Amino acid sequence: MTAQSHVLHCPNELIYCCFGYLSFSEILRSFSDLNSRFIYLINTHWSSIEIDNDLRQSRFRCLLQNLKPSQVCSLRLLAMNDERDYTHQSFKLFSIENFENLQSLRLNNISQQTFPSLIFNLHQLRQLSKLVIFDSPDDDNQLIFEQLFLNRIPKLKSLALDFILHYEPDAASTDYNYSSSNIEVLALHCYVDNANFFLKRTPMLKN
């Protein structure tokens, strides 16, 4: 008789390998309620996280209870227009500087309640190299310009923006005491006012 294998009998290394083929939401949905061993495996695998409104409240609470921000390298936040606003809840518990090893951040439909604070504190992410922002809720892009195009995030190499980028430089804004950004890849999927002004701050752009 041929012996049958079972996922519970697999070594941790093989399970981690399987996790690599699944999204964060799929891992939570499939394994978070299985047993204490899989809760441990999920907790130690959280280097890439997606938080969106498809998460059940119970799984979101499990995430917050076990999350170790310093081990997260990639974070995707999708808030939409939902009263739960998981993103806001997350950053009430963990400040942005706790994600000290974060390298990639994607913000999608973040609420007006959370967005300005997130952008204002991005400079505390010393390892951040890739940033994607969709649908900014703020019409005043002065803060975005100051945080992203004035080298306050020295390791930021890739930036993608998908919203109307409206910025009117005044006389004082042309004389910042900051060096130009180190951005090498800039994707603007949007209408941009004064595009040349942004390009002047990105001399490292590659073709």
In tens, the pLDDT along 75-107 reads: 888 765 556 667 777 777 788 888 999 999 998
Mean pLDDT score, 32-56:
77
Residues with Cβ within 8 Å of residue 150, at least 6 apart in sequence = 176, 178, 179, 180, 181, 201
Rg of the Cα trace of the chain?
20
pLDDT band at 194 (very low <50, low <70, confident <90, very high): confident
Position 185 confidence tier, pLDDT thresholds 50, 70, 90: very high
CA distance 196 to 194: 5
Say if pTM beats, i.e. exceeds, 0.95. Answer: no
Per-residue pLDDT at 170? 61
% the chain with pLDDT above 70: 84
pLDDT of residue 53: 67
Does residue 1 carry a pLDDT above 50?
Answer: no
**How confident is the model at residue 131, as a pLDDT?**
95
